[in-house]
Structure 1
């Protein structure tokens, strides 16, 4: 029995040493995000205050955004080039909330395009501006079963996460409902409606 106990103790010591070694390796490879400029769809500019955003919002985007802010807490403006939407709506709404919480402004670059979830992200900006020849596209959403937003009655809880998102980033309940129902009726999930300047003004998407 004693011999078995000794082997067991040696095994425990080996495992403990291995775990300690792994922890040391992890600590040694901790990333200093202040030295990183590219976080997938986000690229921090040399002034450390401006970010170029280009690409689809996806499941990793929240972590990328958090890492970017950790290394560059002075970010003030996100310039959107082409953000056609999101593949993960829940993450998109969480990232948008972070934008507003951190007092960051959003801007659509000249010839820029935002659509679908990209519009929800843009709306999180405290100040929202756009350049020349820009496009802003909206449409309905569809769930995994193929049901579109317009298949649900207006008082369905299926609509709440988007309305509550708009409210969480500073819009009134009335505006949130008006804009949300406008978007889902503007075009089906597999189509897109490009907002007119009159519609952009009507809903106050641009603050300056």
Structure 2
């Protein structure tokens, strides 16, 4: 079920918003007996390359929130928003508070605004032996696909969708602007190998993600992804 779409068309379907990372700070003070609270939101420059499709946070309410993660219960968490440079630390905080988490559900995952941090997060998921699962009608897009592949075991509903496209760095360059064996390209193939994909499948999957430019997307079904990575 390979389908190529222009990114604006998919964004219209997903009600996309501009990609950005935000740092929120709050300060409280007392003046003339009145307590004041000020909240400041700052746009944060992310040094890593960007791969993201849609920014609306998934409508999932857990028992606790840690950045893009919602804790669902003692053994399950959900990724419900884009990842950024703070996400590895958010993940660590979540596991310290809820060490029993064994499954990361991915109902609606738009991607990342920092690929470097995203790959680091994927390695952390794998190191913890956490499984990844895409439920019915789930959508895993762009950089979030790397996190799905990080699962110690991976499963997805038959109607799950996966969206891939080329990354874009802060200078507007894409994978084809570098040699195939350049470290920036090798980093992704090496990551797929670490996540258990055979060498030929890892190279083929990376080539598939780069077969469409950043401004377009390629939609894959569960069966399509299963040609490259083992699913339960």
User: Of 86, 103, 106, which aligns to 1:77?
Assistant: 103
For 1:198 and 1:95, locate their aligned partners in 2 and report how far apart those are by CA, in whole Å. Answer: 25
For 1:174 and 1:117, locate their aligned partners in 2 and report how far apart those are by CA, in whole Å. Answer: 21
Cα deviation per residue 1:67-125 (whole Å; 9 max; x = unaligned)?
01111111110111111110011110011001110110000121111111100000000
Conserved? CA contact 1:57–1:83, under 8 Å: no
Tell me which residue corresponds to 1:155. Answer: 181
Select the structure that is richer in helix: 1
After superposition, where does 1:57-72 map in structure 2 within 5 Å? 57-72=83-98
SS at match of 2:197: coil
Cα deviation per residue 1:17-45 (whole Å; 9 max; x = unaligned)?
xxxxxxxxxxxxxxxxxxx7211221112
Tell me which residue corresponds to 1:8. Answer: none
Tell me which residue corresponds to 1:200. Answer: 225
Conserved? CA contact 2:72–2:78, under 8 Å: yes
Q: 1:188 deviation in Å?
A: 0.7
Select the structure that is richer in strand: 2
SS at match of 2:106: strand
TM-score (norm: length of structure 2) = 0.68
For 1:57 and 1:145, locate their aligned partners in 2 and report how far apart those are by CA, in whole Å. Answer: 20
Tell me which residue corresponds to 2:210. Answer: 184
For 2:176 and 2:221, locate their aligned partners in 1 and report how far apart those are by CA, in whole Å. Answer: 22
Tell me which residue corresponds to 1:166. Answer: 192
Q: 1:197 deviation in Å?
A: 4.7
User: Of 123, 126, 129, which aligns to 1:103?
Assistant: 129
Tell me which residue corresponds to 2:77. Answer: 51
Structure 1 vs Structure 2 CA RMSD:
1.7
Tell me which residue corresponds to 2:45. Answer: none
Tell me which residue corresponds to 1:126. Answer: 152
Q: Relative contact order (C-alpha < 8 Å, sep 6+): which is higher? A: 2
The count of aligned residue pairs is 170
SS at match of 1:137: strand
Return structure 1 stretches of 4+ with deviation > 4 angstroms.
Answer: none
Larger Rg: 1
SS at match of 2:136: strand
For 2:159 and 2:223, locate their aligned partners in 1 and report how far apart those are by CA, in whole Å. Answer: 15
Structure 1 gap segments, 5+ residues each = 1-35
Structure 2 gap segments, 5+ residues each = 1-62
